[in-house]
Chain A
């Protein structure tokens, strides 16, 4: 039994057709799991299902053995599941520190020590703590986004294409940060377009096709699997 898992999830948007079909995904603490697949495979949908942003027709979602299939997204946040959307993932009109404070909105009591931890993890943010996030570079914004999501001390962190639209150098830097986060014993689940680089840092990966699990295995296995290579990694 994995720490966080979605079992045989089926569903789609509103009353539309099912986008994911009997799709199963799980992740343990201290592990990075990537969800890969071609466009329209249902990667982001699977993630939204885990977060409760779409209603499932069947299947279940559990964290630490507790069934959370019926909880609203906000309540899932309370259970320790944090999410970084692909776009608009920061409060651009607020300062770095205020972004972090908003991440801790649900926390009772003092959270200054968590902010300090985040600053330790992303030193650049401490430097720019009073600057508006809208004025930061793309890579720095992604760090703010990660930092905001980490403020509730999540046990599961979900990232939707964290490296979309950033330069290769920034991408490497971001992946380094993600590995740092993983070492703090967080279960990380991410959807990625840059499949090779993602698999390089992932412990495990899932390849989805038309909303179903097609391949799965450790990062290395998938990287070396000729079928995966030919169809998704460009040979």
Chain B
């Protein structure tokens, strides 16, 4: 796999190779999250998209500077709403605890929720309008905390864990296929909220220019040490050029290229730390008594239940852990891109593609998950050039302007779906346990 990426580096460019590599690392983290849920515990989570988006949201809320004007304009209303929501939850909890389960109670709770929504809408309306009116072209939202963005990786995990707690409480009792549908739909709700609550993170207007945990290219290009570094690396190449002006131009070009490679390398380093740390933790967990118990529950829920294992609680726990890992990946992704675009969260890309990675890599095997993340992402990116090549090959006899050839060439972006689908179907059929199957067999 690494070899393929290096090949891309040699034949396309190191820049492309590194961005593929970084996305592979992020995909690997997401896949590990899904793998923890599916491979360890057999839980289907088709809501990966929602958790990734929450991680991204965390990145915004942590790193962006607070918009004081917006806080003054509508912060109070928003805080009030927050209190109202908390109060509502406590009232409902109180009712659930202290009243017998009757129809009246159910209707009462429904009534409280509806009344609560109406009150919250009334309270928030003016505040939201005020916030969104504050310099709408650039802010129009409350902003964040102005902390280094790397913190958001942890906060994103907590955001995702929080959502997973609620979803898990609600949906984990459902049959497997219902769970899949329910989580998919809940993640759509999450996206809908992020997209349309502009005061929170500007919604579909996107947040751009997030702070970076690594140097900026522009700064690097002016930094003495970096230019020296580039000169040193390319001294052989530079010496061949005799003309001073040409030499300077070549150096400049190299510095520009080098700076973006360097930035990407920094990201790779950060991401690698996360992947390796997660790999160590998940491997340890897999071989611990806890991991054994999870597999026992997965393979025979009733027996595990009969042996006194609290299946519901363990399922909830693993659902939260897996989702938290996806949340980290979501935050990492936004950190790398430097922008948060809620409109780009689509189930094909953030749920189903990740699932293809899990199935292809090998469910229950952490190395399989990483391999799946790498292999599938690589194919996802390189599908277009590969299919273009194949199209040209198969239509070699046709003239350039032939209708079919033009049509196919225009459709190149969609061949990746075809490859993913066929790949998934082939793996499911001939290697149902994935490329790297689960190693531990339970006798």
Q: Do chains A and B touch in the complex (CB under 8 A)?
A: no
Binding site for A on B (CB under 8 A): none
Binding site for B on A (CB under 8 A): none
